[in-house]
Structure 1
Amino acid sequence: MIVLTMLLSMGLTLFLVSRKINMGLSLAIGAVLLALLNGKDFHYLVQLIFRTFSEYATLTLALTIAFITILGHLMEKYLLLDRMIEILERMLGSAKATILLAPAIIGTLLVTGGALMSCPVVGSLGKRLELPGDKMASINLIFRHALYFVFPLSTTILLATQLGGFSVWDFIKLQFPMAVVMYVAGYLLYLKGSPEPKIEAMAWRDYFKSVLLFFYYSSPILVSLLGVVAFQLSFHVSLVFGILLSIGIHLLDERTNPKYHVEESLWLTLYKGIKPSMVVVILGIMIFKNVVNDLDGIYTYLNSLLAKGIPVELIIFIACAAISFPLGSTQPGIAILFPMILPLAPDAHTKLLYAMFVYTTSFMFYYISPIHLCQVLTLEFFEVKMKDLYKNYTYILPATYGTMILVYFLAR
């Protein structure tokens, strides 16, 4: 019975997402159906929603996501990110190194379909490197998304660590090899052998000045991270300092150079930086998570599968394929599977390994999904066919997933 109700719930969620309904709202509706089909009543649903919205984890995660989107909007609006990229190329003295890092840096904005923002940068550098369109598209996607394994302000990593109840840094350390493989393999497959255009060398004083400017324009992101690492602040608190620093840099820019003047009021800019749809996604995920946590039948069924000798890894793989591929997103896989799979772990270390397995498998199926928005927009920009892009994934994605499998079994 529990399997049938889960399938019906997921079917409704997939249908609603396919009808362009917000993913969080779709998950919340799917959660309500799942609860009702398993004998829960209206009173339970009211209590569930009140409990979810008042939970510290829900509130802090929603605030963190809102502040991240505000910070990203400010850095884009005030041209801080553009200046970071320009200075980075001068510092590195290499178009190859810049094309490798630019999508990742722009990826810190973490906006849906944000790969489109780095397309012009990759396109400009790619032409100088004499790269074909399919390689430029691959570079834009691979070097952007490798960051998702290790960037502590990633909304997906924050969601995973909140739902899993483990340290962000423990999770990142475990996933670090996957990011390294993606970057190294990406360089070897797409950039090695391309002619490096000459960039005029800088005097050491100019170079030192460029380094200072790079840290200056990237300081809102760096301060947001430093507050968590060095001062043990909560992410949502640390992000406030990053937001204030962005505003301070902009005010100084306006005084020193009129070209950075923005007619829009600060309050309107801050308001536009809030992405309610992303906050709704978090709320929907937390509602679904709490419903699953309240259904003991799910754990009984999973334990019965394990008792029959079915490996938990196979269950994770099939479930991630069924959830993340059609939805074109990593987050639903995490939201649905973390509360189902992680309680099966016999200890904290195994729980972390299960989390990595779910995260990476969900990511892989999201990445290759035909409705992955970053992929769709990148293909459109570079006028590349999907089959040509998939050919470029022949080695890099299996190598990345194989690295996760290796880490998983070596660390057990």
Structure 2
Amino acid sequence: MALIKIIFIFALIIFFIRLKWNLGLVMLIGALFIGILFSMTAEMIGKSIVAGLTDATTIHLILALAMIMVLENVLRKTENLQKMVNSLKGLVNDHRIVMAVMPAVIGLLPSIGGARFSAPFVEETSKGMNLSPAKKSFINYWFRHPWEFTIPLYPGIILASGISHIPLKSIILAQMPFSLAVIIGGIIFGLRGIKDEAPPAGEIGAKAYLLPFILSIFPV
């Protein structure tokens, strides 16, 4: 019975999303239906809302997202974001690779709201490529996450090693093909077909971009 209720709530969420309703409102409606269908009283629902809003994890998430937005805004105002992208474009002739590398580099350091932070880099790099918002979102999300299988900075790998008592090194080696598969899949389904008409920077030009890139990425 509980499974049927959960399936119904998921179906309801998908239905409202298909109607282009605000995602936050949809999730709130879904949460309310969970309380109603699982026989929670109004008082219990109210206490759950208060507990959720005052929970340390919730506050940490809100603060982290806010600070990410502040950092992103500072990078934009100081033109650091544009300098970073332009210098990497000078180092790598194929701008499609740059568009994938930026979220992948940021993804090496897992953080709350990381996709929100790497999105402007993809947006900046994709200028002139005539890509749809959905395509840019896919590239940003996809290339941020190939490391989840192999980088011990992600808590999931450490947790799996601790629970299974399998050495961390063994898990990383066993899952390395998955990371490679994600990268290859992203190239095939995300980057293939995108035209890049950027002129080559040349050997001397590329060297000139190295120091600006290091300086621009330093705040990150």
- Relative to the length of structure 2, the TM-score reads 0.63
Matches within 5 A, 1:6-405: 6-90=6-90, 92=91, 94-96=92-94, 98-105=95-102, 110-111=115-116, 116-120=123-127, 123=129, 143-149=139-145, 167=155, 170=158, 177-184=177-184, 190=192, 198-202=200-204, 207=207, 210-221=209-220
Q: C-alpha displacement at 1:44, in angstroms? A: 0.5
Q: Which runs of 5+ in 1 are unaligned?
A: 125-132, 153-160, 222-412
CA contact (8 A) 1:9 1:30 kept: yes
* Helix, strand or coil at the partner of 2:203: coil
Provide the rounded CA distance (Å) in 2 between the counterparts of 1:185 and 1:5.
Answer: 35
CA contact (8 A) 1:104 1:144 kept: no
* Helix, strand or coil at the partner of 2:209: helix
Provide the rounded CA distance (Å) in 2 between the counterparts of 1:81 and 1:201.
Answer: 24
CA 1:214 to 1:22, structure 2 compared with 1: closer, same or farther past 3 Å? Answer: same
TM-superposition CA deviations, 1:160-191 (whole Å, max 9, x none) = x9xxxx826748x8676544334345558849
RMSD: 4.2
TM-superposition CA deviations, 1:307-342 (whole Å, max 9, x none) = xxxxxxxxxxxxxxxxxxxxxxxxxxxxxxxxxxxx
Q: Which runs of 5+ in 2 are unaligned?
A: 107-113, 160-170
Higher alpha-carbon deviation: 48-57 or 175-184: 175-184
CA 1:80 to 1:69, structure 2 compared with 1: closer, same or farther past 3 Å? Answer: same
Provide the rounded CA distance (Å) in 2 between the counterparts of 1:176 and 1:51.
Answer: 40
Paired position in structure 1 for 2:165:
none
Q: C-alpha displacement at 1:22, in angstroms? A: 2.8
* Helix, strand or coil at the partner of 2:68: helix
CA contact (8 A) 2:84 2:217 kept: yes
- Report the number of matched residues: 188
- Relative to the length of structure 1, the TM-score reads 0.37
Q: C-alpha displacement at 1:212, in angstroms? A: 2.7
Provide the rounded CA distance (Å) in 1 between the counterparts of 2:54 and 2:147.
Answer: 27
CA contact (8 A) 1:150 1:176 kept: no
